[in-house]
Chain A
Amino acid sequence: MAGDRLKVTRRALAPLGAALALPSCQEPPKPKAVAGPPGNSAVFIAKAANYRVELASKIDEGLSACGLDVRGKNVLLKPNLVEYSIDTEINTHVAVIAAALEVFRKRGAASVRIGEGPGHRRDTVELVELTGYRSLLTGFDDLFVDLNRDDVDMVRNFANRPEFFFPKTVLGADLIVSVAKMKTHHWAGATLSMKNLFGLVPSAIYGWPKNTLHRIGVENAILALNRKFRNTFAIVDGIVGMEGNGPIQGTPKAAGVLVMGRDVVAVDATCSRIMGLEPARMKYLAGAADLGHIAAARIEQRGERVQAVATRFNVIPEHKELLRGTEELG
């Protein structure tokens, strides 16, 4: 019984996390006293009851609402593909990727590719087959790059490391579209558009559970990746997300939304509010003030209002402190 066990908080376990290389390993940087980017950030929310509805027009509307111009750009769509289980909803749904592919092509992108480096499973081919990507996306084998095993190039000074390696497909993209899943996460609190960039890191070098990122610290690694890759746009698939013991073993939670924006911090903060989580209590968001806005006053909500789509996601006991009071919703 959890209730009669010795109370061990996640904060108390932080030093242990460094050794386990699983939970958050280091305290993330304290929230910086920086104003953040100038101006406000637009975040678009679209209702989508299920994956059978017409999604391309909603994504197209979101791109317009957020002022994204993709003409002539080499676009990399980065879904969240982790594991497959018939019993739950782990991965970005193929219908969302299919719609994004259609929209970015129609809007004049020079090229659109799909790339992912799954964090756990070695066999990416199995994952793209089980999730329907390979059978439902025309020409999938020519479109898809396994980022775990892509050719790599070196970058200097990433996350206090003098050398780090990223896939050439990632480094060559003009725009990375983080097409994430709306899920709770047992270490980070939630996994949304910013955490989704873990899949850009090649496991062929850094290990299949992305060991090196866990050693850097989950929050620190999220921030480092998002500071490195600023050429991003976020689309979060919250049509059916995951609550509880995410990102793999939680239960499906229908929020019926797509959330989009150029400011990934604002998108994740908005998703958190929709999920009933307090964004300022999420360590990685609290440390992201230089990257974007988490304050509701600095986010221009387009499309649906947060209150209209708010859907409280259950969290594991270790993350109860992230829950917002119902009076705070929105």
Chain B
Amino acid sequence: MSNARALSFRTVRLDLLRQAQNADGGWGYKAGGQSWLEPTCLAMLALTGSEAAPALEKGWKLLRAWQLPGGGYRPAAMVAEPSWATSLCVTLQCVHKVLDSGFDKGVAWLLGSRGIEGSPLERMLHLVGRMVVEYDPNLKGWPWTPESTSWVEPTAHALVALKKVRQQRPELAGISERIEEGERMLADRRCRDGGWNYGNRRVLRTDLPSYPETTALALLGLQGATVLPLDRSLTTASRQWQHTVSRMGRAWLAIAMRPHGRTLELPDLAPPADLCVVALEALAMAEGDKRWLEIG
């Protein structure tokens, strides 16, 4: 893609995001849909550094209103349970240096959120090699919802957020330990093929396949990690890039490979209806603001 095309590619997406913002300040998964936390945060990240101050201000107003007393954020206006996408809010706050009391509460919630695996029975079965789902139950990442087990995607998002936080608050108690445990959890769950499945690597004696979006997110979360060499995972990600038809997967791969020194160019297609993918494709372009990726 030429520089002019690349600029146009990104501009079209940012314009689309500006136009698709809801009256409440958020974004839906599709234009005109209810506002959700995930597309709102991704759209705000994509619009960062562009001429979008009014849109961002409306977005911040919504996010402040969606923070729950415990520090986590609602996934949508009417849902009063904290969402995994609190990680994206914290990342966004770091990028914009919005380090207020709401930020501190969000970080505290994130540090306190963890998977529920690790019961004595699980640990015993793990010790004797009798787990039906083969993973180390001593390693806790982050769950999608409170009171459930850890999964790759929310763990990767939490690692990105906490690594950003650590740049701002290196002295914060417990933060390095949580980051290290999250990295070890991702390392433990890496599939035999070098990539990542959404959850585990092996269930009922069968290896699970890896996927582009989960591999990309794990690579993003593992920036700067020394817990395992990533060469094989990067090779797997490159192979996935060649074969996937998923625009979401490609966008995440392009984003995630950049900090690892590899540039992938998205195909020059019209923007999709999915506003998360619109935002991700804008974020994947070299021209965009990359502060959120600077965590290694």
Chain A 201-217 residues near chain B, CB threshold 8 A: 203-209, 211-212, 214-215
Q: Is A13 an interface residue when CB atoms closer than 8 A count as contact?
A: yes
Chain A interface residue bracket vs B = 35 or more
Q: Is A68 an interface residue when CB atoms closer than 8 A count as contact?
A: no
Please determine whether A126 and B153 come into contact, CB atoms closer than 8 angstroms.
no
Please determine whether B144 and A211 come into contact, CB atoms closer than 8 angstroms.
yes
Please determine whether A126 and B122 come into contact, CB atoms closer than 8 angstroms.
no
* Given the contacts A149-B29, A205-B76, A122 and B248 also touching, CB distance less than 8 Å: yes
Please determine whether A13 and B199 come into contact, CB atoms closer than 8 angstroms.
no
Chain B 211-252 residues near chain A, CB threshold 8 A: 211, 213, 244-249
Segment of A2-10, A174-182, A226-234 in the binding face? A2-10
Q: Is B31 an interface residue when CB atoms closer than 8 A count as contact?
A: no
Please determine whether B248 and A215 come into contact, CB atoms closer than 8 angstroms.
no
Please determine whether A123 and B246 come into contact, CB atoms closer than 8 angstroms.
yes
* Given the contacts A2-B205, A19-B121, A122-B153, A207 and B143 also touching, CB distance less than 8 Å: yes
Chain A 289-308 residues near chain B, CB threshold 8 A: none
Q: Is A190 an interface residue when CB atoms closer than 8 A count as contact?
A: no
Measured CB to CB, the nearest residue on chain B to A148 is B29
Contact of B148 among A5, A6, A120, A215 (CB under 8 A): A215
Please determine whether B130 and A5 come into contact, CB atoms closer than 8 angstroms.
yes
Contact of A126 among B76, B116, B125, B248 (CB under 8 A): B248
Taken together as a complex, chains A and B put the C-alpha atoms of A19 and B277 apart, in Å, by: 33
DSSP majority for the B interface? Answer: loop
Q: Is B79 an interface residue when CB atoms closer than 8 A count as contact?
A: yes
Nearest-Cβ distance from residue B138 to partner chain A, whole angstroms: 12
Chain B 72-118 residues near chain A, CB threshold 8 A: 75-76, 78-81, 83-84, 116-118
Please determine whether A123 and B249 come into contact, CB atoms closer than 8 angstroms.
yes
A55-75, CB under 8 A of B: which get 1 and which 0? Answer: 000000000000000000000
Q: Which residues of B contact A5 (CB under 8 A)?
A: 130
Taken together as a complex, chains A and B put the C-alpha atoms of A15 and B132 apart, in Å, by: 13
Taken together as a complex, chains A and B put the C-alpha atoms of A205 and B81 apart, in Å, by: 9
Q: Is B128 an interface residue when CB atoms closer than 8 A count as contact?
A: yes
Taken together as a complex, chains A and B put the C-alpha atoms of A152 and B78 apart, in Å, by: 9
Q: Is B36 an interface residue when CB atoms closer than 8 A count as contact?
A: yes
Please determine whether B144 and A207 come into contact, CB atoms closer than 8 angstroms.
yes
Q: Is B66 an interface residue when CB atoms closer than 8 A count as contact?
A: no
Contact of A130 among B36, B130, B137, B245 (CB under 8 A): B245
Total B residues in contact with A, Cβ cutoff 8 Å: 54
Taken together as a complex, chains A and B put the C-alpha atoms of A21 and B249 apart, in Å, by: 26
Q: Is A110 an interface residue when CB atoms closer than 8 A count as contact?
A: no
Q: Is A79 an interface residue when CB atoms closer than 8 A count as contact?
A: no
Please determine whether B122 and A20 come into contact, CB atoms closer than 8 angstroms.
yes
Q: Is A49 an interface residue when CB atoms closer than 8 A count as contact?
A: no
Nearest-Cβ distance from residue B219 to partner chain A, whole angstroms: 16
Nearest-Cβ distance from residue B277 to partner chain A, whole angstroms: 8
Nearest-Cβ distance from residue A314 to partner chain B, whole angstroms: 14
Contact of B145 among A146, A186, A207 (CB under 8 A): A207
Nearest-Cβ distance from residue A238 to partner chain B, whole angstroms: 23
Nearest-Cβ distance from residue A318 to partner chain B, whole angstroms: 7
A residues bordering B, Cβ < 8 Å? 2, 5-6, 8, 13, 15-16, 19-23, 120-123, 125-126, 129-130, 141, 146, 149-152, 154, 163, 165, 186, 203-209, 211-212, 214-215, 245, 249, 316, 318
Name 10 extra pairs, CB < 8 A, besides A15-B119, A15-B121, A206-B144.
A6-B128, A19-B118, A19-B137, A22-B133, A125-B247, A149-B33, A149-B36, A207-B143, A212-B145, A212-B148
B residues bordering A, Cβ < 8 Å? 28-30, 33-34, 36, 38, 75-76, 78-81, 83-84, 116-119, 121-122, 125, 128, 130, 132-133, 137, 143-145, 147-149, 151, 153, 198-199, 203-206, 208, 211, 213, 244-249, 272-274, 277
Please list the 8 inter-chain residue pairs (A to B) with the smallest Cβ-Cβ separation, ordered nearest first. Answer: A207-B144, A126-B246, A149-B29, A211-B148, A123-B248, A19-B119, A151-B34, A21-B149
